[in-house]
Chains A and B, each alone.
Chain A
Amino acid sequence: MAQPAGLLYSKEHEWVKLDGDVATVGITDYAQAALGDIVYVELPRVGATLEQFGGIGVVESVKAVSDIFTPVGGEVTAVNDAIEADPALVNRDPFGGGWLFKVQLADVSQTDALMSPEAYDQLVSQA
């Protein structure tokens, strides 16, 4: 299964889309499929400062709670309000309408620690 190009990936199954020094973050299709039907997502607040790879929220499926680890650090500039009312949007469109939050990066070089689509694809095809 090919991973969308132009994104960076973490081993915790989040994706990052960079636009200058603002990163949009979501979970991958592999992650949403592994979680199953998502019924609740708890996100950081706008204005919160996140540390790269820190636990910053949870995603809950019908039966289980899983932590969200942010792939990038910085200040939260937006969260996706649409998934509060419709958490299953993360299942239906994980790389698009199901994005989670946006971060103003403290330091763009931190993305060096993330994976290319090819490297992430290799990770999930071994799982």
Chain B
Amino acid sequence: MTTEIGGTLRRTALYDAHRALGARIVPFGGFEMPVQYTSILAEHEAVRKRAGLFDLSHMAQFALRGAGVGAWAETLTVNNVENMKGGQARYNIFTNERGGAHDDVIFYRLGDERWLLVVNAGNADKMWAHVSAERAGDVELENLHGERALVAIQGPRAVEWLQPYVEAELAAMKYYSCAETRVKGTRAPILIARTGYTGEDGFELFLPSDEATGVWDLLLAENRERGLAPCGLGARDVLRLEAGMPLYGHEMTEEITPLQAGLAWAIKFDKPAFCGKEALLAQRDAGDYARIVGLTMEGRVPARAGYPVFAGATQAGEVRSGSFGPAVGKNIATALVEPLAAPDGTALEVEVRGVRHAAVVTPLPFYRRPKAS
């Protein structure tokens, strides 16, 4: 069950902790990862109402060093990199010549010449090969995949429950900022970022692997009885779908461009040059591209990735992600559809096992967290 064709599965530093917590383990991105500890719905609720703790150590961390990193990365990605300040994190996308996505990533600028790049687990090898092949001038790369752990605490209580263990004043950190700070149980300061993939407030902690279990146990020791729940990748996928966040391989691929994925805000067409710029400009100007939309199913039948989507008698696209959305109370999905089928409120149908079921195009995100008081 946990074998993968053509490769050996790796384990994160927290594998034993997951087993001890009764997690169900599945292969994901080359690692044996917890998909759930109790139930996806219970873990989802913990994150929306209190906070959840995630092991994301399967994601690949690349250290980038050198005065040339910013300028170099500008040419490979759609968003701005060089103008990031120390202590800033920024979402970005590495593109191919056709404007498709190699991966969506986050850059963290630790200092003038020190950066961290976090890429998806499933793209780790491809991305390492890509950045290595494109490496130029004053850029040093170090692949920390599997050597560094990543633990996230996500939810409205994240500040309160993490703060006692951290020197930095968490409430003062802005969304998408990062800081190197002392954390109880670690030898040296570690990077903490106010980033996440759940639609809630929260933090991600980048740790040496041998310190991961200590910090994980510390965070659960006092907070678990208050309601901090260890959460698996199952809940994480539902949370990100509700929050309208793309998942590589679903809403974005080597073929589905960031423009199609609704990420125009991240594409800086005023940059002098970047890989895929001409293709993306042409796609934008033509305007007739299929695009990712949100779908809400009207009945009780869930839509799933790959199901065909119809506008009247015509196939208008296909579902790319689908799940029950607990915060919405309905089945929700994303679909890649032709422009005519894309306006909000359009009535479409999803074909499920040969039967068509009503769906309506719904603006993303499906869920937005209440404003902090």
What residues make up the interface of A, taking CB atoms closer than 8 Å to B? 36-37, 39-40, 42, 58, 60-63, 65, 84, 87
Interface of B is mostly: mixed
Of the stretches B81-89, B279-287, B296-304, the one at the interface is B296-304
Residues of B close to A42: CB separation below 8 A? 301, 353
A40 touches B234 (CB 8 A): no
B284 to chain A, nearest CB (A): 34
Indicate whether B36 reaches chain A with its CB closer than 8 angstroms.
yes
- A-B interface pairs (CB < 8 A), number: 38
A63 touches B353 (CB 8 A): no
Indicate whether B95 reaches chain A with its CB closer than 8 angstroms.
no
B300 touches A63 (CB 8 A): no
Residues of A close to B36: CB separation below 8 A? 36
Could you give 25 example pairs across A and B, Cβ below 8 Å? A36-B36, A36-B40, A37-B40, A37-B41, A37-B324, A39-B300, A39-B324, A39-B331, A40-B324, A40-B331, A42-B301, A58-B353, A60-B302, A62-B40, A62-B238, A62-B323, A62-B324, A62-B326, A63-B40, A63-B234, A63-B237, A63-B323, A65-B302, A65-B304, A84-B300
Q: What is the bound-complex CA distance between A39 and B332, given in angstroms?
A: 12
What residues make up the interface of B, taking CB atoms closer than 8 Å to A? 36, 39-41, 234, 237-238, 300-302, 304, 323-324, 326, 331, 353
Name which residue of chain A comes closest to B300, CB basis. Answer: A40
Q: What is the bound-complex CA distance between A57 and B39, given in angstroms?
A: 23
A40 touches B323 (CB 8 A): no
A127 to chain B, nearest CB (A): 9
Name which residue of chain B comes closest to A58, CB basis. Answer: B353
B33 to chain A, nearest CB (A): 14
A40 touches B301 (CB 8 A): yes
A62 touches B41 (CB 8 A): yes
A39 touches B234 (CB 8 A): no
B249 to chain A, nearest CB (A): 15
5 closest Cβ pairs, A-B complex: A39-B324, A37-B41, A62-B40, A62-B324, A37-B39
A36 touches B234 (CB 8 A): yes
Q: What is the bound-complex CA distance between A13 and B350, given in angstroms?
A: 30
A62 touches B234 (CB 8 A): yes
Residues of B close to A36: CB separation below 8 A? 36, 39-40, 234
